[in-house]
Amino acid sequence: MPSTATAPDHAQEAAERLLSPGHAAIVGLQWGDEGKGQTVDLLTPHFQAIARFNGGNNAGHSVHVGNEKFALHLLPSGITHPGVLCVIGNGVVVDPSPETGLLKEIQTLADRGITVDADKLQISNRAHVVMPYHRVEDGLYEALAKAGKSEITAGAIGTTGRGIGRAYADKAHRSTAIRMGDLLVPDRLHDQLRPILRIKNALLQALADLAGVEYTPFELDTLLRQAADWANALGPMIGDTTQALLDIENNPTSGGGRVLFEGANAALLDVDHGTYPYVTSSTTSALGAATGTGLAPRHLHNVLGVAKAYTSRVGGGPHPTELLDATGEHIRQTGNEFGTTTGRPRRVGWLDLTAIKYSAQLNGCTALVLTGLSVLAGLPELKLAVAYEHDGQRLDTFPADAFVLEQATPIYQTLPGFPTGTDDATAFADLPDAAKAYVQAVEDFVGIPIKLVCVGPKRSQALPR
Ligand code: GDP
Ligand code: IMO
Ligand code: MG
Per-residue pLDDT at 147: 76
pLDDT tens readout for residues 296-336: 999 999 999 999 999 999 999 999 999 999 999 999 999 99
Do 411 and 387 meet the contact criterion of CB atoms below 8 Å apart?
yes
> 62 CA to middle of ligand 1, Å?
7
Q: What is the pLDDT of residue 153?
A: 53
- Condensed to tens digits (0 to 9), the pLDDT of residues 92-101 reads 999 999 999 9
Known catalytic residue: 117? no
Q: What is the mean pLDDT of residues 243-254?
A: 89
> Is the beta carbon of 371 within 6 A of some atom in ligand 2?
no
pLDDT digits (tens, 9 = 90+) for 25-84: 999 999 999 999 999 999 999 999 999 999 999 999 999 998 999 999 999 999 999 999
State the pLDDT at residue 196: 98
Position 11 pLDDT exceeds 50: yes
Name the nearest CA neighbour of 369 among 462, 444, 459. 462
Q: What is the reported pLDDT for 162?
A: 97
User: Does the reported pTM lie above 0.85?
Assistant: yes
The packing angle between helices 220-234 and 186-211, to 10°, is: 130
| pLDDT over 70 (residue 228) | yes
Please tell me the predicted confidence (pLDDT) of residue 4.
Answer: 43
The answer to whether 61 is a known catalytic residue is yes
Residue 94 Cα, ligand 1 centroid: separation in angstroms? Answer: 23
Whether residue 8 has pLDDT greater than 70 = no
Q: Where are the beta strands (DSSP E) in 296-449?
A: 300-308, 311-313, 347-349, 351-352, 367-371, 381-390, 393-395, 409-416
Catalytic residue among 10, 23, 33, 95: 33
Q: Average pLDDT of the chain? A: 94
pLDDT classification of 145: cutoffs 50, 70, 90: confident
Ligand 3: centre distance to CA 394 (Å): 32
Confidence at residue 155, expressed as pLDDT on a 0 to 100 scale: 66
Which one is catalytic: 23, 61, 64, 128?
A: 61
132 lines ligand 2 (CB under 6 A): no
The average pLDDT across 380-386 equals: 98
pLDDT at residue 150 tops 60: no
**How many angstroms separate the CA atoms of 199 and 171, rounded?**
15
Ligand 2 atom nearest to 316, measured from its CA: 27
CB 333 less than 6 A from any atom of ligand 1 = no
Are 197 and 132 a contacting pair, CB within 8 Å? no
Residue 224: is its pLDDT beyond 80?
A: yes
Residue 422, Cα to own-chain centre: how many angstroms? 27
CA 143, 147, 150, 155 dihedral sign is positive
Which residue has better confidence, 426 or 156?
A: 426
Q: Tell me the CA–centroid distance for residue 457 and ligand 1, in Å.
A: 6
Ligand closest in space to the Cα of 348: 1
Question: Cβ–Cβ contacts within 10 Å for residue 82, how many?
Answer: 11
From the CB of residue 417, how many other CB atoms can be counted at a distance below 10 Å?
Answer: 17
